[in-house]
Structure 1
Amino acid sequence: MRIRHVAAVTGALMGLSALALPASGAQAAVHGHPPVVVGHRGAAAYAPENTLASVDTADRLGISWVENDVQRTKDGQLVVLHDTSLARTTNAKKIYPGRSPWNVGDFTLREVEKLDAGSWFGSRFKGERVPTLEEYLEEVEDNGQKLLMELKNPELYPGIERQALRELRRDGWLDSGHVRRRLIVQSFNADAIRKFHRLDPAVKTGFLGSPTVADLPKYAAYCDQINAPHIAVTRKYVEAVHRLRGPHRRRLEVYTWTVDDAKGAVRIAGLGADGIISNKPDVVRDALDGDRS
């Protein structure tokens, strides 16, 4: 972990144990093991989302998997940010008045690097920056974590699928160890995931959404996961997904988002979901662990 994050992360973790809700009667996933717990945008309930501090907070909480969002600057650099606009999670309005709506694609990397991406969340995170994908991958690697990487709004960034693959390869994330156990690429855009799979069939991929049961076989041709909102997940839907095999000839999986409470985690696990994406991944993990104790 980089030294500059230690103070912020330590402060974010104070009192977290009081937030973990007890669980009783929880069920493991019906296929025999509990769901994988994924930190949404790092650990977004405890640190500014998609920053290195958020990754490090997830690491300090013992969370192996983190999720992020990848977009592209005006000068073609990949950065980690959720919204199309910089306005919500940085001080772009103050630093660049008159450049509304402050879209990521209208700013160069040098301009983005001048922004504070932490103060909006809390004063102790003042000075956090919007990380490049390279910096983010390095942090995840240094922590020994695993990455669920979302191509965000790929329709705005032609060619981002190939560019993301180049960055992953350059940073050592396309070797067999990472591809088999530490990397999943997802998107709401089915065409982007189809293209990504075509460019590198070895990488595990997921579609964000809840296609109809009748349409699931089409997605199984290029997706290993159907990553659905938790309100759309039922036992019958999970069973329908599990009946199919993805492009790697393994059973199709269901990851679901965004679940932040123990009761919800227990419910989703009981339906047989393979993964749960959460802003409070420690709460979800503790709820599922409590059932096994």
Structure 2
Amino acid sequence: MRHFFGALLLGMATLTVMPTEKVLAATLTGQPPIVIGHRGASGYRPEHTLAAYELAIQMGADYIEPDLVATKDGVLVARHENALAIFNSNGTLNLTDTSTDVYERPEFADRLTTKVIDGRSITGWFTEDFTLAELKTLRAIERIPAIRPQNTQYNGLFEIPTLQEIIDLAKEQSSLLGRTIGIYPETKHPTYFDSIGLSMEEILVDVLNANGYVDQDAPVFIQSFEVSNLKDLRQLTNVPLVQLLSAGGQPYDFTVSGVPTTYRDLATPLGLAEIATYANGIGANKNLIIPRDSQGNLLSPTTLVKDAHEAGLIVHAWTFRDENVFLPANLQGNPQEEYRLFYQTGIDGLFTDNPDTAVAVRSTLFPSSTSVPEPGTMFALGIVPLFGLLFRRRK
């Protein structure tokens, strides 16, 4: 393995740029690209709540994505980070990393602590210091209220869901809608959780096995930004695995072990060939697929999708959001065009906070794909999941 990474560093190639093409490149599977509800329909509901996941499904998402962290008693729950609320160094609440109302709960004031997570010192409250029963008393809040103030109306309505509850929802909705809804869990901070005796891989596989997700045909992808835990998972399960690739930096387990390989190294043909030995695909930051210039305008696509497909890897791009703050400078107010340009590269799927937009654009390019909801149904899609979840009896 070290010989491989040494050769990679000596012979790494930069991502090349090819002319913009208007033709629709083929996906690896030959099927329309999948739409993955990123933390649910998080453009419309607080992320990682059953309401967000159900709305994503009703909007046409094929998969729903829970980021997984562990509780003190070893249960996997969905949060973007294991930090439930974070304070800035000046003592103010960090409003881009706080996803629950724990900071308002005096009974948990003594859980406030400072930890180092993946090399970053963080002061806040953490899932691993709470039992599941304690976490269930908390309520989710909108994590980026400055960008999505409309979502704050749902603050305090929803619990933190477990992986099992998300699976139950996916199966329930699959039965109701007559189409298979997959799950796309991400193991968050696996090296850190290993270090505190809460190894996530075994817990995750046990839950998947208990629910019948056991082989390559199961409607599930497991994703991770780290490499070693995906290799561990390959020894434990046959379900599809996806190596996440950021536009910068390196896998944290490489940082810990002193391996110098970066994510961009892994995005080269040699790096992709190595990924193909343990994973079925890559989840690529969209800037690795279509870069932006210094002004934030989209450039021409790189060869990453083509190179990955030649290595036998599917490509899922992340993350698509409709708000202008996230859109390229030359596509302000036009998220549909961003989807169209990325679909044309041949990606096999994408992560989106706005599944309705992704599904609508996909239907214009891939008429055989899941159709968009009928006009006039969006009101129902917003209200029915919300009240259905508020009054659903707990199992």
Q: Aligning the two structures, in what range does the TM-score lie when normalised by the shorter sequence? A: 0.7 to 0.9
Give the 3 Å change call, closer, same or farther, for CA 68–27 of structure 1 in structure 2. Answer: farther
Secondary structure, aligned partner of 1:180: coil
Partner of 1:199: 236
CA contact 1:27–1:269 (8 Å) conserved in 2: no
- Aligned partners of 2:22, 2:173: CA distance in 1, in Å? 30
Match of 2:350 in 1: 276
Question: How many Å separate the matches in 1 of 2:73 and 2:101?
Answer: 20
Aligned residues: 259
**Counterpart residue type for residue 191 of structure 1:** S
Identity of aligned residues (%): 27
Corresponding residue of 1:7: none
Q: How does 1:13-52 map to 2 (within 5 A)?
A: 28-31=24-27, 33-52=31-50
Measure the CA separation in 1 of the matches of 2:31 and 2:337: 18
Offset of 1:189 from its aligned partner?
Answer: 0.9
Q: Distance in 1 between matches of 2:236 and 2:64?
A: 24
Residue 130 of structure 1: aligned partner: 160
Q: 1:212 aligns with which of 260, 267, 281?
A: 267
RMSD in angstroms over aligned alpha carbons? 2.0
Name the residue aligned to 1:12.
none
Equivalent of residue 92 in structure 1, options 82, 102, 120: 102
Q: Is the 8 A contact 1:34 1:269 kept in 2?
A: no
Partner-residue secondary structure (3-state), 2:61 = coil
Give the TM-score, by structure 2 length: 0.62
Which runs of structure 2 are paired with 1:140-289 in the superposition (5 Å)? Answer: 140-144=170-174, 145-158=181-194, 159-174=199-214, 179-200=216-237, 202-209=238-245, 210=263, 211-213=266-268, 214-233=270-289, 234-244=301-311, 251-260=312-321, 261-289=335-363
The question of whether the paired residues in 2 share the 8 Å contact of 1:26 and 1:287 is answered with no
Following TM superposition, by how much is the alpha carbon of 1:37 offset from its aligned partner in structure 2, in angstroms?
Answer: 1.0
Unaligned 5+ runs, structure 1: 1-24, 245-250
Give 1:114's match in structure 2, choosing from 130, 134, 137. Answer: 137
- The question of whether the paired residues in 1 share the 8 Å contact of 2:222 and 2:242 is answered with yes
Q: Quote how far apart the aligned CAs of 1:28 are.
A: 4.0
CA contact (8 A) 2:74 2:203 kept: no
- How far did residue 33 of structure 1 move? 4.4
Q: Which runs of 4+ in 1 moved over 3 A?
A: 25-29, 31-34, 118-121
Conserved in 2, the CA contact under 8 Å of 1:38 and 1:63? yes
SS in 1 for 2:201: helix
Deviation of 1:119 after TM superposition, in Å, equals 6.6
For 2:272, what is the secondary structure of its paired residue? Answer: helix
Distance (whole Å) between structure 2 residues aligned to residue 292 and residue 239 of structure 1:
19
- Name structure 2 gaps, 5 residues minimum: 1-20, 86-97, 114-123, 144-150, 175-180, 246-262, 290-300, 322-334, 368-395
Q: Which residue of 1 aligns with 2:3?
A: none
Alpha-carbon distance, 1:80 to partner: 1.0
Q: How much does 1:73 deviate?
A: 0.9
Whether the 8 Å CA contact 2:101–2:141 is kept in 1: the answer is: no
43-52 or 210-219, which moves further after superposition?
A: 210-219
Separation (CA, whole Å) in 2 of partners of 1:46 and 1:55: 10
